[in-house]
Structure 1
Amino acid sequence: MSFAITDSVSWVGKIDWDLQKFHGEEYSTFKGTSYNAYLVRDEKTVLIDSVYRPYAAEFVENLKKTVDLDEIDYVVALHGEVDHSGALPELMKEIPDVPVYCSPQCVKSLKGQYHVDWNFVTVKTGDTLNIGKRTLSFISAPMLHWPDSMFCYMDVDNVLFSNDAFGHHLASDQMFNDLVDPCELMQQCIKYYANILTPFSALVERKIEEVVALDLPVDYIMPSHGVIWRDNPLQIVEKYMLWAQDYQERQVTVFYDSMWENTRLMAEAVAEGVRGERPDVAVKVMHAARRDKNEIITEIFKSAAVAAGCSTINKGILSGMTGVLEMIKGLGFKNKSAAAFGSYGWSGESVKILEDWLSESGFEIAAEGLKVNWTPDGEGLEECRKLGAELARKVSV
């Protein structure tokens, strides 16, 4: 499959309808994804990125139907991760001498993964490649989201090839932002940002400011995953700027794990306390072991405050909570309040463990942790409601 986007740019990627997990088992992609590669034709012909490794042979065969491979003058690799570069080894067997333009870090990545020595040409911010009527300008974008990441801007058509930035995991045969459900699209975008780009928010903000300062007209943003932004393309840039600034909504997320439903009762009572104190504040209650962890992270990203609850087991916490907390620690959320709660039978270490983990992850501990022995009674549930009310007061009006 291929299709024309502009007079000079064609999409030559792969839609992966079946993908359910990404980055190993770390990221859920329940809506599938696409691996976007772009063919640019002017006096010179340029291939920008390729597709995920399992589809390498298919990619090369389909590309041959679009262009004689001997007509490709340059390959641009904006990022070395295998979902973008995976088909390059198969392709470069056919065109071994074609120059591969990429960052110095990307050379290390490609050599390390594929053990190749292609005709690499390293580029950095400010470097250009004239291809006829059009010029490609390279912009280094380290840690958005790998050290080797780059953007590429093409004049005349005013296209920003943004690689992972401004992308999302959404499979669609309607490959433009104005043709898909805008609510579903934006949900996949914020999920992508929350789970992947949050640790690099300061870099995101600076890079966007740098690109905006170039005052380049942008009619298209063509990311490496998901649909192409052509209707008000800068709307996603504006969202990134918003998300990069310690983002929060008027929301409290209560996430928990429970052995015998006692901590669940506490979680629901905490949520009642939030609603009772601030009816204008949204509350999400999510079972850490049963709900998708990336969806939980997305709700935490949106929240001003969180409550984490867990039963005690073997002087520790349940494994469902451990996985979520480890993800939270790595993402480095800022400007969020938190409290811990949990039920126990005889030892009760879980609440202190949760508090320590949240504190080490950058959350302000807003209230003393709440432990309830066995099943919470009326008094215990009322204490949970008070905890929820205290968290609600941490949410800005």
Structure 2
Amino acid sequence: MEDEYYPVEISENIYWVGVIDWNLRDFHAYATPKGSSYNSYLILDDKITLIDTVKDHLADEMISRIEKVVDPAKIDYVVANHVEPDHSSSLSRVMKMNQNAKIFATKRAKDGLCQYYRPYGCDSWDFEVVDTGYELDLGKRTLAFIETPMLHWPDSMQTYLKEDRILFSNDGFGQHLASSHRFNDEVDNALEEASEYYANILMPFSKPVFNLLEKVEKLNIEIDMIATGHGIIWRDNPGQIIDAYRKWASGETVPKVLVIYDSMWGSTEKMAKVVVEGITSKGIEAQLLHLRKNEWSMIIREILEAPVIAIGSTTINNGPLHSVAGFLTHLKGLRPKNKKAAVFGSYGWGGGGVKFAESELENTGVEIVEKGIQIKFGPDKEDLKACRELGIRLADIASLDQTRT
């Protein structure tokens, strides 16, 4: 190929051959304003091995990088850590260039790949089904596979290069971040980006996260580098992201209250601002987050470490504004742990928004700790006093919650 895309050697004879998706702005309705990358890795050994592929429309870039190192037709093994198309949809291109390559995948991954890519000849591909503990001799190096079901698909696994102590983690420990840099010590915001990724993609799967960390410990795996499926690679103190995952999965929080709201004519917004005043009067951090003026993915990241949230909504058609209803549905799917909440809002001729929001939060597993405040039309002095007092009580709850943590 004529394209001038070059690999990055991340360790001796181990290359990043992925692609950077600078213009990605949406991933499963999760806003990605900083783009992303799809990371694929090439290991040169007696058996040349490719770990994961990239989105199909960017396959030419991956192949160009591989060609700078080796003829793609000489690839012996392909490791498919995950079926999802952002990691697998150029697999058919790789197999077309080398029909004799063997694919290593979990049983569920094999089944999923063949369902996706049967029209591209998957029935003729040579698969080896692997599970936790299976080891693959490459010559001078050895790969060991670790099944990670529901992190975040049933087919998922991670691959460990024993001699180099590199964990190829696919969707674990990554970030949606497009960068000209490849390593965490070259960027300033890796952990922050990883927290947003975890909150929006992996938050519902805290138990599988703990299962992975337990497997790593039981298998006595020492990790010098985590080569992720998205974003940058952790080579400087990779233990920091492992520790962060342990904290996030356990539901640890900091003393903070989020006031998340939308307003039609400003009444609910007035209430929200006074709730914030009550919170901050107790020395507790508060954030005021308008649902149509902030990316939901960013709000979800803040929820990850906040023990208490307050939801505010105007009532329309006997329910909350569509932005609030949509956000609560989104939150329900993510199933945040150890959260407490209160609801407030205004209405015109008929209420309903507050009751709906409380019900949705309870269905999410969030504990309602205060009776909802509803006011008709605009808040008066007594209404605003009640809102301030609500903020004070929520601050106290956030403070106590942190003490228990």
Q: TM-score range by the shorter chain?
A: over 0.9
Deviation at 1:66, TM superposition (A): 2.4
**3-state SS, counterpart of residue 393 of structure 1:** helix
How far apart in 1 are the matches of 2:64 and 2:8?
15
Provide the secondary structure at the position in 2 that maps to 1:31: coil
> Percent identical across equivalent pairs?
45
CA distances 1:19-49 after superposition (whole Å, capped 9, x unpaired): 11112xx111111111110000111110000
Determine whether 1:314 maps to 2:317. Answer: yes
Per-residue deviation, 1:67: 1.2
SS in 2 for 1:66: coil
**2:93 is aligned with 1:90:** yes
Give the letter aligned to residue 149 of structure 1: S
Instruction: Give the Cα separation in 2 of the matches to 1:216 and 1:296.
Output: 35
- Structure 2 regions of 5+ residues with no counterpart? 1-5
Determine if the alignment matches structure 1 residue 300 to structure 2 residue 322: no
TM-score, normalised on structure 1?
A: 0.96
Of residues 188, 197, 201, the one that matches 1:196 is 201
Q: Secondary structure of 2:153's match?
A: coil
| Aligned mates of 2:193, 2:96 — CA distance in 1 | 36
TM-score for the superposition, normalised by structure 2: 0.94
Provide the aligned length of Structure 1 versus Structure 2. 391
Q: Aligned pair 1:231/2:236, yes or no? A: yes
What's 1:47 paired with?
50
How far has the Cα of 1:8 moved from its partner? 2.3
**1:172 has 2:179 as partner:** yes
3-state DSSP of counterpart to 1:145: coil
Q: Equivalent residues in 2 for 1:1-397 (5 A)? A: 1-23=6-28, 26-115=29-118, 116-117=122-123, 118-181=125-188, 184-276=189-281, 278-279=282-283, 281-395=284-398, 396=400, 397=403
Measured after TM superposition, the shift of residue 142 of structure 1 is 0.6
Q: What is the identity, as a one-letter code, of the residue corresponding to 1:275?
A: T
* 1:277-311 Cα shifts (integer Å, max 9, x gaps): x21x2111111122111111111222110000101
* Aligned residues: CA RMSD: 1.1
User: Structure 1: which 5+ runs fail to align?
Assistant: none
- Match of 1:92, as an amino acid? M
Check conservation: 1:136, 1:153, Cα contact below 8 A.
Answer: yes
Distance 1:290 1:322 in 2: 16
Runs of 4+ in structure 1 over 3 Å off:
none
Query: What SS does structure 2 have at the residue aligned with 1:195?
Result: helix
- Greater shift, 53-62 or 376-385, is seen at 53-62
- Counterparts of 1:10 and 1:80, CA distance in 2: 22
- Give CA-to-partner distance per residue, 1:232-291, whole Å, 9 cap, x none: 111100110011102321110010111111111111111111111x21x21111111221
* 1:130-188, Cα deviation, whole Å (9 max, x unpaired): 0011110000001111111101111221111111101111111111111111xx21111
- Once the 2 structures are TM-superposed, how far is the Cα of residue 216 of structure 1 from its aligned partner? 2.0
